[in-house]
Amino acid sequence: MLLPLPTDVSLPLYQRIAADYARAMAIGALQVGERMPSVREVMRRHQVSLSTALQMLRHLEAAGHLEARQRVGYFVRHAQGSALAPNSEPDLSQPVQGSDQAHFVGINEHISLLLEQGRQADVHTDIGGCTPPAGLFDHHYLNKVVAKLLREQPTLLVQGRSLLANQGNHPDFQQAMARRALASGIRVAPADVLATTGNSEAVALALAAVASPGDLVAVESPTYYGLLQVVESLQLQTLEIPCSPRTGMSIEALELAFQTQPRLKAVVVVPELQMPLGARMPDAHKARLVALCTAHGAALIEDDSYGLFVETEQPVKPLKAWDNASGHVIYCQAFNKSLAPGLRQGWMNGGRWHGRVQMLKFAQSRNTQTLGQLVVAEVLGSAVHQRSLAKLKQQLRDQREGMARLVARFFPLGTRLSLPPGGLCLWVELPDGFSSAALFAEALAQGIRIAPGSMFSNSGRYEHCLRLACTHPVSPAMEQACRTLGAMACRQLGQAARG
Amino acid sequence: MLLPLPTDVSLPLYQRIAADYARAMAIGALQVGERMPSVREVMRRHQVSLSTALQMLRHLEAAGHLEARQRVGYFVRHAQGSALAPNSEPDLSQPVQGSDQAHFVGINEHISLLLEQGRQADVHTDIGGCTPPAGLFDHHYLNKVVAKLLREQPTLLVQGRSLLANQGNHPDFQQAMARRALASGIRVAPADVLATTGNSEAVALALAAVASPGDLVAVESPTYYGLLQVVESLQLQTLEIPCSPRTGMSIEALELAFQTQPRLKAVVVVPELQMPLGARMPDAHKARLVALCTAHGAALIEDDSYGLFVETEQPVKPLKAWDNASGHVIYCQAFNKSLAPGLRQGWMNGGRWHGRVQMLKFAQSRNTQTLGQLVVAEVLGSAVHQRSLAKLKQQLRDQREGMARLVARFFPLGTRLSLPPGGLCLWVELPDGFSSAALFAEALAQGIRIAPGSMFSNSGRYEHCLRLACTHPVSPAMEQACRTLGAMACRQLGQAARG
């Protein structure tokens, strides 16, 4: 096991530079046995002092990444396997893929079937689901907050926050969300904050508010399977827009779709750490995307639940920040992955459709539980949560890098993988001829659960891909599981097992 | 103020008989100044001993209901106003009312507008909303249960009960609900218990699972406005089936509807304490209703949230108890009115459509929060809750009777009202020519909120009706509010103010 390499900006410079090199090793850009730059090169390249350069190299050595050879220099030590090429860019010359009727009816069943198989199996290593385990959260603090709230507001659980009380949206929660949104450039009045059960309910409400059965919804390709399910459950049809692993949804392809598809009523986008690719959409793209949807009168439904996980010093600007007047962006955010999975607390603002969203929410599930709202309002701005989130991000980063190393070491030659700048998973592309459905079944029989590529599209285009969760520590058991997966994949492709 | 007259079966016989007389006074069947039966008559009529008969009469005297006139007997003392006729039975010769397109689009907006007006007004007396106030629940006990659960399962809030964990349905909750259902004659496997956010989500999921846009849904007339909203939000259309204030939905009218409406896919029924009428469907009707829906392959969606509030010694049997094999009954139950309004915890079993319901739930809102499930599982069978529920029912009964007395005293001549055998509200019918919409607006301007009859139907048939909540104590302020409402209504009808 390698020691974790922290990247928190509050950390010393030498540690941050070390983390960059560790990342290069993780994706195979620096291979085992390769010579590290000399101390002088490091000083020049990073414009640092001698002591910083030395500290950096010794830190990597102590962490097990390098070995020092007397009088020669530092060498990459850990067996990294071969280099991995980054995820492939989409082929924009291909026509945009819509879901035909057959797929439309089938995807929900296909996904449900896979989920059900995963549920029923006796799983010892779960690399399929992307919810961080309980151990990564500070439950002591959350429980204290609950106790405090019930002490201060003893009738909280028996208050029906009904009609007179703002449709179940607690004013403290609304205030907290509006303040938070403002900090990322979004102006939302507290009264226009609608509490939701996680993000799924928010996106489902948004879609139901703006589209009618038979209408088209543009989604990223590949996309989160939950979105494909909700689109189908509302009797809408998806139009899959190619997505770059670096920059997200192709604006050009979407533009073309608007020109040819009059029933295209909504676009659903995860602009930061797109699920499953981990892409971050550049600000210039965001501005164009908002302008494009506004020009076509379409709803741009933004899922901003992963923005919190971006590992950067720069402020992260949601799409909604570009939606200055027309209100075409519907903003959705949930805290189940970042604050407390058990609370399932989220919120949304429906932009120009907010009234309709409110009406639908009220008709279909009435009020959202109050306790969760108050816990989130209390916790979100706190220093304890800031520290806890920073720790969570660091841990996820270590785990992503660790998983990438295991993929590089054990997976077939020709496997591709980009290390995303944050988030909970890796998107792994295997060579043509590989079947992730077959791997899913074979692995499940051995107690290992993965998410096969076919779950992330109606198009059947990602059969050779799979999503690996990076939510669990890279333990010896995980190493063993990746070795097993890699050997199965190699066998499928007629390669010899590696690592 | 009269003293409450308990009706709990554990109470002495004389108190129970006294309660029957008090009820007769409440609805005006026994009028002020009228002579009570003599001691001997009471002995004969109720087959009780002399001492019980005397105790009963003295109890009523002590409670302020009677005055004793020396050597003559007991006389009804409290000014009860005139007698109220019971609610009218529906006219079954009228054709069944479907929602035409205009109504279909409008009802949601109409209801939302009324709710919004109610929200924005400065309300001091709310007789509109039917959620019992916090004071009627035992919040100390609930808070203790939360503390205990978080002590025993400290990571509860940070556990994402995801794919592997039964789709967010906690096994303890499933067990508790299945056990509970069995006690009322329903056989449901724990694995087939689906946790929901209250009852609205359950009914919305049920409807989405069994009907497609354009399909017809039979509902009771009048019905809870939330149901009209959810039907419209799913782009379905309602067919209003006449409903008796005593026995609920007319099975004959429904039978006729099935013969003429091929797109009738679902029937939504509140068999016990129908909202707003308070009707209880006789068992024979229940059996016919289940058989009828089964024969037509339609879903019978049962909302059993009010069965808990029925004031009877007999066990209350849900419709689902008659659904032995075919699974055409979708059972829904929520505990927000009976256990903890703030938790919004409910559950459902989708019968033959359970798989589809699960899929929709998972697609549209994923898991239901765990804490609420565990609180309900822990509290529901407990002796503390049994006592607390009995107290709640007693209080609601006193309040219903108190409200009925105020209506009898202040409302226009010709007002009709049945005192339902349990529940949270009264359905008041005023003479023709009365406009509850006008009363709603006029009362709201004076800080009194009611629910006008037009909210409870697409048909415009209940403009002369209104629903009065009985969830608050009959305080002097409430008496004043009813006096004001009565005077407004009398003025509308050209009568002199009463009381």
pLDDT in tens, B440-493: 999 999 999 999 999 999 888 999 999 999 999 999 999 999 999 999 999 999
Are B68 and B22 in contact, with CB atoms under 8 Å apart? no
Q: B369, A372: Cβ pair inside 8 Å?
A: yes
Q: Does B369 touch chain A (CB under 8 A)?
A: yes
Cα–Cα distance, B223 to B240 (Å, whole number): 9
SS (H, E, C) chain B: CCCCCCCCCCCCHHHHHHHHHHHHHHCCCCCCCCECCCHHHHHHHHCCCHHHHHHHHHHHHHCCCEEEECCCEEEECCCCCCCCECCCCCCCCCCCEECCHHHHHHHHHHHHHHHHHHHHCCCCEECCCCCCCHHHCCHHHHHHHHHHHHHHCCCHHHCCCCHHHHHHCCHHHHHHHHHHHHHCCCCCCHHHCEEEEHHHHHHHHHHHHHCCCCCEEEEEECCCHHHHHHHHHCCCEEEEEEEECCCEECHHHHHHHHHHCCCEEEEEECCECCCCCCCECCHHHHHHHHHHHHHCCCEEEEECCCHHHECCCCCCCCHHHHCCCCCCEEEEEECCCCCCCCCCEEEEECHHHHHHHHHHHHHHHCCCCHHHHHHHHHHHCCHHHHHHHHHHHHHHHHHHHHHHHHHHHHCCCCCEECCCCECCEEEEECCCCCCHHHHHHHHHHCCEECEEHHHHCCCCCCCCEEEEECCCCCCHHHHHHHHHHHHHHHHHCCCCCCC
Q: What is the pLDDT of residue A101?
A: 39
Q: What is the pLDDT of residue B107?
A: 58
Cα–Cα distance, A343 to A146 (Å, whole number): 11
Rg (Cα) of chain A, in Å, rounded?
23
Residue A83 pLDDT > 70: no
Q: Token digits for A366?
A: 């009435």
Q: Token digits for A281?
A: 């959409």
Helix (H), strand (E) at residue A389:
helix A383-410
CATH class of A139-382: alpha beta
Q: Does A341 touch chain B (CB under 8 A)?
A: yes
Cα–Cα distance, B320 to B301 (Å, whole number): 9
Q: Does B117 touch chain A (CB under 8 A)?
A: no
Q: Confidence band (pLDDT; 50, 70, 90) for A5?
A: very low
Residues of A in contact with B232 (CB under 8 A): 363
Residues paired with A67 in a beta bridge: A75
Residue B61 pLDDT > 90: no
Percent of chain B scoring above 90 in pLDDT: 64
CATH class of B139-383: alpha beta
Residues of B in contact with A223 (CB under 8 A): none
- Which chain B residue has the Cα nearest residue A110? B359
Mean per-residue pLDDT of chain A: 89
Residue partners of A307: CB distance under 8 A and separation at least 6: A184, A271, A272, A273, A316, A318, A333
Query: What crossing angle do the helices spanning B436-445 and B101-120 adopt, rounded to 10°?
Result: 20
Q: B115, A163: Cβ pair inside 8 Å?
A: yes
Across the interface, which of A129, A201, A226 has its CB nearest the CB of B164? A129
Q: Does A156 touch chain B (CB under 8 A)?
A: yes
Residue B28 pLDDT > 80: no
Across the interface, which of B142, B155, B233 has its CB nearest the CB of A158? B142
> Given its phi and psi angles, is residue A452 left (phi above 0), alpha (psi -120 to 50 degrees) or beta?
beta
Q: Does B86 touch chain A (CB under 8 A)?
A: no
Q: Does A145 touch chain B (CB under 8 A)?
A: no
For residues A368-379, average pLDDT: 93
Query: What crossing angle do the helices spanning A225-233 and A198-210 adopt, rounded to 10°?
Result: 40
Residue partners of B292: CB distance under 8 A and separation at least 6: B251, B254, B255, B258
Q: Does B336 touch chain A (CB under 8 A)?
A: yes
Which SS3 state, helix, strand or coil, does residue A314 take?
A: coil
Q: Does A132 touch chain B (CB under 8 A)?
A: yes
Residue B89: count other Cβ atoms within 10 Å of its Cβ: 13
Residue B102 pLDDT > 70: no
């919305």: which residue's tokens? B204
Cα–Cα distance, B334 to A369 (Å, whole number): 14
Residue A102 pLDDT > 50: no
Residue B6 pLDDT > 90: no
Taking alpha carbons only, the member of A329, A337, A292 closest to residue A310 is A337
Q: Does B482 touch chain A (CB under 8 A)?
A: no
Cα–Cα distance, A332 to B361 (Å, whole number): 19
Percent of chain B scoring above 70 in pLDDT: 92
Cα–Cα distance, B336 to B230 (Å, whole number): 18
Q: Does A431 touch chain B (CB under 8 A)?
A: no
Q: Confidence band (pLDDT; 50, 70, 90) for A4?
A: very low
Helix (H), strand (E) at residue A199:
helix A198-210
Q: Hey, which residues 21-40 in chain A have their CB within 8 Å of chain B?
A: none
Question: Which among A129-133, A221-225, A312-316, B32-36 has the top mean pLDDT?
Answer: A221-225
Q: Token digits for B483?
A: 């006096």
Q: Does B113 touch chain A (CB under 8 A)?
A: no
Q: B163, A128: Cβ pair inside 8 Å?
A: yes
Residues of A in contact with B108 (CB under 8 A): 359, 363
Residue A163 pLDDT > 50: no
Q: A344, B364: Cβ pair inside 8 Å?
A: no
pLDDT digits (tens, 9 = 90+) for A418-430: 889 999 999 999 9
Are A191 and A175 in contact, with CB atoms under 8 Å apart? no
Residue B164 pLDDT > 70: no
Residue partners of B311: CB distance under 8 A and separation at least 6: B7, B393, B397, B421, B422
């007629």: which residue's tokens? A494
Residues of chain A with CATH 3.40.640.10: 139-382
Q: Does B366 touch chain A (CB under 8 A)?
A: yes
Are A25 and A406 in contact, with CB atoms under 8 Å apart? no
Are A379 and A142 in contact, with CB atoms under 8 Å apart? yes
Mean per-residue pLDDT of chain B: 89
Question: Which among A107-111, A246-250, B82-86, B130-134 has the top mean pLDDT?
Answer: A246-250
Cα–Cα distance, A180 to B139 (Å, whole number): 32
Provide the Cα torsion B187, B191, B197, B203; round to 10°: -50
- Which chain A residue has the Cα nearest residue B359? A112
Residue partners of A348: CB distance under 8 A and separation at least 6: A193, A194, A196, A202, A205, A206, A330, A331, A332, A333, A357
Q: Confidence band (pLDDT; 50, 70, 90) for A404?
A: very high
Substitution target in A157, A167, A170 with the highest count of B β-carbons within 10 Å is: A157
Amino acid of residue B239: L
How many angstroms away from the CA of B155 is the closest CA of chain A?
6
* Percent of residues in chain A assigned helix, strand, coil, to nearest 5: 45, 15, 40
Least confident window among A11-25, A335-349, B210-224, B411-425: A11-25
Cα–Cα distance, B345 to B356 (Å, whole number): 21
Q: A164, B341: Cβ pair inside 8 Å?
A: no
Substitution target in A357, A360, A364 with the highest count of B β-carbons within 10 Å is: A364
Q: Confidence band (pLDDT; 50, 70, 90) for A9?
A: low
Q: Does A126 touch chain B (CB under 8 A)?
A: yes
Q: Confidence band (pLDDT; 50, 70, 90) for B98?
A: low
> Given its phi and psi angles, is residue B64 left (phi above 0), alpha (psi -120 to 50 degrees) or beta?
left
Q: How far is CA B486 from CA A454, B396, B445, in A?
A: 66, 22, 15
Residue B85 pLDDT > 90: no
For residues A143-165, average pLDDT: 85
What ipTM goes with this model? 0.83
Residues of chain B with CATH 3.40.640.10: 139-383
């926050």: which residue's tokens? A161
pLDDT digits (tens, 9 = 90+) for A258-317: 999 999 999 999 999 999 999 999 999 999 999 999 999 999 999 999 999 998 878 899
Q: What is the pLDDT of residue A165?
A: 53
Query: What crossing angle do the helices spanning A283-295 and A251-260 adopt, rounded to 10°?
Result: 10
Q: B201, A365: Cβ pair inside 8 Å?
A: yes
- Which chain A residue has the Cα nearest residue B232? A363
Amino acid of residue B444: L
For residues B279-292, average pLDDT: 97
Cα–Cα distance, B197 to B177 (Å, whole number): 15
pLDDT digits (tens, 9 = 90+) for B405-447: 899 889 998 999 988 999 999 999 999 999 999 999 999 999 9
Helix (H), strand (E) at residue A198:
helix A198-210
Pairs across A and B, CB distance < 8 A: 215
Amino acid of residue A129: G
- Which chain B residue has the Cα nearest residue A230? B363
Q: Token digits for A155?
A: 């009738």
Cα–Cα distance, B146 to B140 (Å, whole number): 10
Higher pLDDT, B333 or A131: B333
Q: Does A365 touch chain B (CB under 8 A)?
A: yes
Which SS3 state, helix, strand or coil, does residue A108 take?
A: helix
Residue A258: count other Cβ atoms within 10 Å of its Cβ: 17
Q: Confidence band (pLDDT; 50, 70, 90) for A106?
A: low
How many angstroms away from the CA of A410 is the closest CA of chain B?
26
Residues of B in contact with A157 (CB under 8 A): 139, 142-143, 146, 340, 342-343, 375
Query: Hey, which bits of A297-336 come out as E strands?
Result: 299-303, 329-334
Fold (CATH) for A114-136+386-492: Aspartate Aminotransferase, domain 1 (3.90.1150)
For residues B270-281, average pLDDT: 97
Residue A20: count other Cβ atoms within 10 Å of its Cβ: 12
Residues of A in contact with B208 (CB under 8 A): 233
Q: Does A143 touch chain B (CB under 8 A)?
A: yes
Residues of B in contact with A166 (CB under 8 A): 119
Substitution target in A120, A369, A424 with the highest count of B β-carbons within 10 Å is: A369
Q: What is the pLDDT of residue A81?
A: 43
Q: Token digits for B81?
A: 């106003």
- Which chain B residue has the Cα nearest residue A363? B230
Helix (H), strand (E) at residue A98:
strand A97-98
Cα–Cα distance, B202 to B303 (Å, whole number): 9
Across the interface, which of A129, A161, A375 has its CB nearest the CB of B163? A129
pLDDT digits (tens, 9 = 90+) for A212-271: 999 999 999 999 999 999 999 899 999 999 999 999 999 999 999 999 999 999 999 999
Residues of chain A with CATH 3.90.1150.10: 114-136+386-492
Residue B20 pLDDT > 90: no
Residue A481 pLDDT > 60: yes
For residues A467-475, average pLDDT: 95
Cα–Cα distance, A401 to A381 (Å, whole number): 29
- Which chain B residue has the Cα nearest residue A163? B119
Taking alpha carbons only, the member of A357, A384, A163, A139 closest to residue B123 is A163
pLDDT digits (tens, 9 = 90+) for A168-214: 889 999 999 999 999 999 999 999 999 999 999 999 999 999 999 99
Residues of chain B with CATH 1.10.10.10: 13-76
Residue A459 pLDDT > 80: yes
Q: What is the pLDDT of residue A298?
A: 98
Cα–Cα distance, A203 to A300 (Å, whole number): 11
Q: Does A125 touch chain B (CB under 8 A)?
A: no
Residue B81 pLDDT > 60: no
Residue B11 pLDDT > 90: no
Q: Token digits for B216?
A: 């017809």
Q: Token digits for A411?
A: 């997976």
Residues of A in contact with B225 (CB under 8 A): none
Q: What is the pLDDT of residue A104?
A: 38
Residue B84: count other Cβ atoms within 10 Å of its Cβ: 24
Give the CATH number of domain A13-76; options: 1.10.10.10, 3.60.130.10, 3.10.580.10, 1.10.8.60: 1.10.10.10
Q: Confidence band (pLDDT; 50, 70, 90) for A98?
A: low
Q: Token digits for A48?
A: 């640092």
Q: Confidence band (pLDDT; 50, 70, 90) for A107?
A: low
For residues B157-167, average pLDDT: 68
Residue partners of A125: CB distance under 8 A and separation at least 6: A447, A448, A449, A477, A478, A481
Taking alpha carbons only, the member of A62, A122, A139 closest to residue B149 is A139
Across the interface, which of B147, B163, B212 has its CB nearest the CB of A118? B163
Q: Confidence band (pLDDT; 50, 70, 90) for B96?
A: low
Residues of A in contact with B150 (CB under 8 A): 143, 146-147
Q: Confidence band (pLDDT; 50, 70, 90) for B163?
A: very low
Across the interface, which of B158, B340, B368 has its CB nearest the CB of A142? B158
Question: Which among A21-35, B54-68, B175-189 has the top mean pLDDT?
Answer: B175-189
